[in-house]
Amino acid sequence: MNDQTPETRHTAGAFDIRVIIGALLGVFGLILLGMGLFNASDAELDKADGLNINLWSGIGLVAAGVAFVVWARLRPIVVPSDPAS
Amino acid sequence: MAMASDDTFRLDADVVDYTIVALYFAVVLGIGLLARRQVSSSIDFFLSGRSLPAWVTGLAFISANLGAVEIMGMSANGAEFGMATVHYFWIGAVPAMLFLGIVMMPFYYGSKVRSVPEFMRKRFGTGAHLVNALSFAIAQLLIAGINLYLLATIVNRLLGWPLWVSLVVAAAIVLSYTALGGLSAAIYNEVLQFFVIVAALLPLTIVALNKVGGWQGIQDKVKPDGEQLSSWPGTDLTGIDNPVLSVIGIVFGLGFVLSFGYWTTNFVEVQRAMASSSISAARRAPIIGAFPKMFVPFIVIVPGVIAAIIIPELADLKGGGKGDGVTYNDAILLLMRDLLPNGMLGVAIAGLMASFMAGMAANISAFNTVFSYDLWQQYVVMDREDGYYTWIGRIATVGATVVAIGTAGIASQYDNLMNYLQVLFGFFNAPLFATFILGMFWKRMTAAAGWTGLVSGTAAAIVVAILSEDALGGASVGVLGISGQGASFVAAGAAFVVDVLVSVVVSTRTRPRVESELKGLVYSLTPKESLTDPDEGTLPWYQSPTKLAGIGLVLVIVLNVIFW
């Protein structure tokens, strides 16, 4: 855990939830992409009237996952300067 | 939803879906373990050390509410009543969330109380406090049971385990991360849950829209007529035939009393904002949450409306048939069954589980705070060291989970979960809002008025519910010709009016508290500086609570006009 503000008691928000969210959504996205590309049987496509939802959701989720990780990289957690108590 | 409806249908999940669900649970437990490393005092455990950024608490704020009731209940309402259900969001949530951020949050955060009941104790003394803390704690146990019951239903549909095994396993998972990491674990998981829920419901909505032929397709096929797609006057939703009274019911009963009562005094919600890092972050939390909240109807109610068109069983049910044993509460599950391929099905299952866990964890983490600080520390064992109360909090978490398994059984006996919950909120929250708002703005209000107002308001709601046709199920006698959601609105309205009347009458006959004791608690006796952030003038527009709230208000009015 990287401690951003050493002078306070501790930082309760030190591990970055954005990286965790980004990673989980990204992995979900990759699985769906795989299913959409290689496992889209006609029967499954018919369920959704021909829309390959695995493929499109996969693309969306990977994009969302990347966005979260990029956000976390560009703006690392800064515990606001006004003290909590 | 009866316990027996377990085997009406099953979701056809395969190994990919299980992998996705398992991945999700691994991350949930991982967050619990990570958060545990940071818990070193009771403030950490119960209020996350008051250190979280506003976007985290803002998303947690709506995610805590995006539980079973919201997803299953609102899609059920969408299927049954159509677009009028949006009132629960645009009338019944957003204005109150903005009000909480602008008007009430400064009192909560500024007075450094640790819970909403604690504010009650400082303002009115122990009488009102005890009533509030007890009724809140009991309500949380009941609602946790509903979330748990629905979570178990999903596990049951997915794995085919008996319902009681599903109940225990689901409870154990929620317990493990809330007991380990306290509020931080609950809040971080809520933020994660929010995105998983969106990842589940947005594609489901897109597929459903594609299937039904877009918005045009809904307009052409919706039953019984196009009324279902307009939000006002919502006579189907309220069960009040007269359109004028129906609008009054929605605006006053739902929009004012129920919604303000729920969002501004419910500690489940307020606790999330209290965990913020500054007073302006605390004020921003509900306001930031209001923006996604406005758009939740599109991925919850719209699928419900479509389900009633394209799912044969639901169309049959709506046409007056038996629907092959399904209920409106199954709308989302039936859409998943009929539309989603393996893969996306797994994400959708994970999303629903996320939602019900978010709801239950929120109930439990709010319960353990109120139980430890407001009941145990205040009335049972006083003046022990801090670590003792963190320990009590963990014990309370375990106890609450066990009780929730029992209340899950109660929840299973009600046909429409929404009614059941509205009734509960009416009993507990409507009088609470009346007492808070009077207490914050009227310094003359006395301690005796605090508790008598609450008790008589709650009693009034119970009386109305018993006199109605079905608000309390079998206990209602049907003297008043109101039923369904309308009965809840009327009960809440009665609770509010009776609370105000009793509070005013009692206040004029009892001695008010000394004014110096009310500093920070009553508007006219609190210096303006302590209610605002000193740096607020320098914040950019997107961090200013009032400017954000203004934008939110305009947006929600636009949405109301579009879907008139």
SS (H, E, C) B105-121: HHHHHHCCCCCHHHHHH
Per the prediction, chain A carries an average pLDDT of: 71
Number of domains in chain B: 1
Q: Is residue A16 part of a domain?
A: no
Contact A80, B373 (CB under 8 A): no
CA nearest to B35, candidates B182, B191, B190, B172: B182
Cα separations (Å) of B91 from B98, B253, B337, B453, B482?
12, 10, 32, 26, 21
**pLDDT at res. B254:** 74
Residue B382's SS3 state is coil
Q: Is residue A20 part of a domain?
A: no
Per-residue pLDDT of chain B (564 residues; tens, 9 = 90+): 333 344 567 777 788 888 888 898 888 888 877 777 765 555 555 555 566 777 888 888 888 778 767 888 888 888 888 787 888 888 878 888 888 888 888 888 877 777 888 888 888 888 778 878 888 888 888 888 878 887 887 777 766 777 788 888 888 888 887 777 677 777 778 888 888 888 888 988 988 888 877 777 777 777 766 666 666 666 666 666 666 777 777 777 777 777 888 788 877 778 777 777 777 778 888 888 888 888 888 888 888 888 888 877 777 777 777 767 777 888 888 888 888 888 888 888 888 888 887 778 888 888 888 888 778 887 777 777 777 877 888 888 888 888 888 878 776 666 455 456 656 656 777 788 888 888 888 877 888 778 888 888 888 888 887 777 666 666 666 666 666 667 777 888 888 889 889 888 887 887 777 777 767 677 766 666 666 666 666 677 667 777 778 888 888 888 877 777
Q: Is residue B127 part of a domain?
A: yes
Cα of first residue to Cα of last residue in chain B, in angstroms, is 32
Q: Is residue B435 part of a domain?
A: no
d(CA B77, CA B88): 10
Q: Is residue A83 part of a domain?
A: no
d(CA B100, CA B98): 5
Residue B10's SS3 state is coil
Q: Which domain holds residue A51?
A: 25-74
Q: Tokens standing for B177?
A: 């991360």
**How many angstroms separate the CA of residue A46 from the nearest CA in chain B?**
9
**How many angstroms separate the CA of residue A32 from the nearest CA in chain B?**
6
Does the beta-carbon distance from B16 to A49 stay under 8 Å?
no
**pLDDT at res. B421:** 61
- Window 283-312 of B: residues touching A by CB (8 A cutoff) are none
d(CA B309, CA B312): 8
Phi and psi of B91, rounded to 5°? -100, -40
Residue A45's SS3 state is helix
Does the beta-carbon distance from A24 to B533 stay under 8 Å?
no
Query: How is residue B343 annotated by DSSP?
Result: T
Does the beta-carbon distance from A1 to B38 stay under 8 Å?
yes
Q: Is residue A10 part of a domain?
A: no
Q: Using a CB–CB cutoff of 8 Å, tell me whether B353 touches chain A.
A: no
Q: Is residue B317 part of a domain?
A: yes
Q: Is residue B504 part of a domain?
A: no
d(CA B487, CA B424): 12
Q: Is residue B183 part of a domain?
A: yes
Does the beta-carbon distance from A47 to B203 stay under 8 Å?
no
**pLDDT at res. B1:** 34
Q: Is residue B244 part of a domain?
A: no
Chain B residues whose CB is inside 8 A of the A39 CB are 342-343
CATH of the domain at B127: 1.20.1730.10
Chain B residues whose CB is inside 8 A of the A71 CB are none
Q: Is residue A18 part of a domain?
A: no
Q: Cis (ω within 30 of 0) for the bond into B243?
A: no
Phi and psi of B52, rounded to 5°? -90, 145
Number of domains in chain A: 1
Contact B290, B552 (CB under 8 A): yes
Nearest CB to B342; choose among A15, A35, A61: A35
Sequence-distant (6+) residues with CB within 8 A of B153 are: B1, B6, B163, B166
**pLDDT at res. A81:** 40
d(CA B183, CA A12): 11
Nearest CB to A12; choose among B44, B192, B211: B44
d(CA B59, CA B546): 18
Q: Is residue A34 part of a domain?
A: yes
Check whether A6 has a pLDDT greater than 50.
no
Contact B262, B429 (CB under 8 A): yes
What does B32-73 look like in DSSP terms, one character per residue? HHHHHTT--SHHHHHHGGG-B-HHHHHHHHHHTTSSHIIIII
Distance, CA of B28 to chain centre: 21
Does the beta-carbon distance from A25 to B195 stay under 8 Å?
yes
**pLDDT at res. A85:** 39
Mutation for testing the B interface, residue in A25, A35, A61, A77 having most B CBs under 10 Å:
A35
Q: Which domain holds residue B195?
A: 3-218+263-412
Does the beta-carbon distance from B199 to A57 stay under 8 Å?
yes
Does the beta-carbon distance from A84 to B535 stay under 8 Å?
no
Q: Which residue has the tokens 């070193």?
A: B40
Q: Is residue B68 part of a domain?
A: yes
Query: What is the interface size between A and B, counted as CB pairs within 8 Å?
Result: 131
Does the beta-carbon distance from A24 to B27 stay under 8 Å?
yes
Does the beta-carbon distance from B207 to A17 stay under 8 Å?
no
Q: Is residue A7 part of a domain?
A: no
**pLDDT at res. B332:** 86
Q: What is the mean pLDDT of residues A51-75?
A: 84
Q: What is the mean pLDDT of residues A22-36?
A: 88
**pLDDT at res. A14:** 39
| Integer-rounded Cα radius of gyration of chain A | 19
Chain A residues whose CB is inside 8 A of the B342 CB are 35, 39, 44
d(CA B123, CA B460): 23
Query: How is residue B251 annotated by DSSP?
Result: I
Q: Is residue B362 part of a domain?
A: yes
Does the beta-carbon distance from B339 to A47 stay under 8 Å?
yes
Q: Is residue A33 part of a domain?
A: yes
Cα separations (Å) of B224 from B82, B240, B327?
10, 18, 18
Cα of first residue to Cα of last residue in chain A, in angstroms, is 22
CB-side exposure of A71: number of CA atoms within 13 Å? 14
